[in-house]
A = this chain, B = another copy of it.
Amino acid sequence: MTLKVYADRMSQPSRAVIIFCKLNGIDFEEVKIDISKRQHLTPEFEEINPMKKVPAIVDGRFKLFESHAIMIYLAYVFPGVADHWYPADLSKRAKIHSVLDWHHSNLRHGAAKYVLNSTLGPALGRPLNPKAAAEGEKILSASLAKIESVWLKGNGRFLLGSLQPSIADLSLVCEIMQLEVVNEKDRDRILGPHKRVLKWIDDTKNATRPHFDEVHSILFKVKEKLKRLQSRGAKDETQFTKKTALQSKM
């Protein structure tokens, strides 16, 4: 039975899992759970993931959610996954766990809070919240600085000084990519000071093409919609909200 991946490409951990499967030639069926249509809240999806979040997988009779756990599981059970994604070497593996644990309360927390409160709020039926956006930006910027000074230390192009990407690179870069929907001035202000982070994002994109670009294309479409919105003003914004309301899964 084919692996099923329940995902919405608007969700950054969903994108990481889909890209991971494609990169590693894992045969899977992508089942779209459209958050904007509240499909993650249906009783059918609750049977797959009682936490009502994407991504989730079903492999035979085995169900699993949480993107890091999913990628680790897939790396174990699919023999075609190259070692660099989740190395057998215990110290390398331990460091990858450390990055992934750190991710939750730092980069993920900051990026999601910032993007929601600075940009996506109205599309979710929530007002923008500059105070919360500023708090999110502070955590996000501190996290980017730590990626640069701690996780990207060393000679390799990837996290932990590695020469090839791991699931940690994929997970963190997908997280940062949500900044694509933010206006360019703000994104440049936040990412601009972190030259090494910018290079690492490019290196990760290059190492995971063409799947990275294909799976992220949805973000660029949303960005264009938001741009048109901003130029049209508040009236159309309401229409946009009704038509394409985006639900956060954080």
Residues of A near any B CB (own CB < 8 A): 50-51, 62, 64-70, 72-73, 76-77, 90-91, 93-95, 97-98, 100-102, 104-105, 108-109, 146, 149-150, 250
Chain B residues with CB below 8 A from A102, complex form: 51, 66
24 of the cross-chain contacts (CB-CB < 8 Å) are A50-B146, A50-B149, A51-B146, A62-B91, A62-B94, A64-B94, A64-B95, A64-B98, A65-B98, A66-B98, A66-B101, A66-B102, A68-B101, A69-B100, A70-B94, A72-B97, A73-B90, A73-B91, A76-B90, A76-B93, A76-B94, A77-B90, A104-B104, A105-B108
Interchain CA distance A68-B105 in the complex, whole Å: 13
Closest CB-CB distance, A175 to chain B, in whole Å?
Answer: 13
Copies of this polypeptide in the complex: 2
Return chain B residues, CB-CB under 8 Å to A100: 69, 101
| Min distance, Cβ A154 to any Cβ of chain B, angstroms | 13
Interface of A is mostly: helix
Complexed CA–CA distance, A109 and B66 (Å) = 16
Most chain B beta-carbon contacts within 10 A, residue among A50, A98, A102: A98
With both beta carbons as reference points, the residue of chain B lying nearest to A66 in the complex is identified as B101
Contact B69 A97 (CB under 8 A): yes
Select one of B69, B101, B146 contacting A69, CB under 8 A. B101
A196 to chain B minimum Cβ distance, whole angstroms, is: 15
Contact B72 A94 (CB under 8 A): yes
The 8 closest A-B pairs by CB, nearest first: A104-B104, A69-B97, A66-B101, A73-B94, A69-B98, A66-B98, A50-B150, A76-B90
Nearest-neighbour CB distance to chain B for A43, whole angstroms, equals: 14
State in angstroms the CA–CA spacing of A212 and B73 once bound together: 31
User: Nearest-CB distance from A141 to chain B (Å)?
Assistant: 15
> What chain B residues lie within 8 Å of A50 (beta carbons)?
146, 149-150
CA distance A66 to B64 in the complex (A): 23
* Residues in B whose Cβ lies below 8 Å from that of A76: 90, 93-94
- The answer for the CA separation of A93 and B104 in the assembled complex, in Å, is 19
**Residues of chain B lying within 8 A (CB to CB) of residue A93:** 76
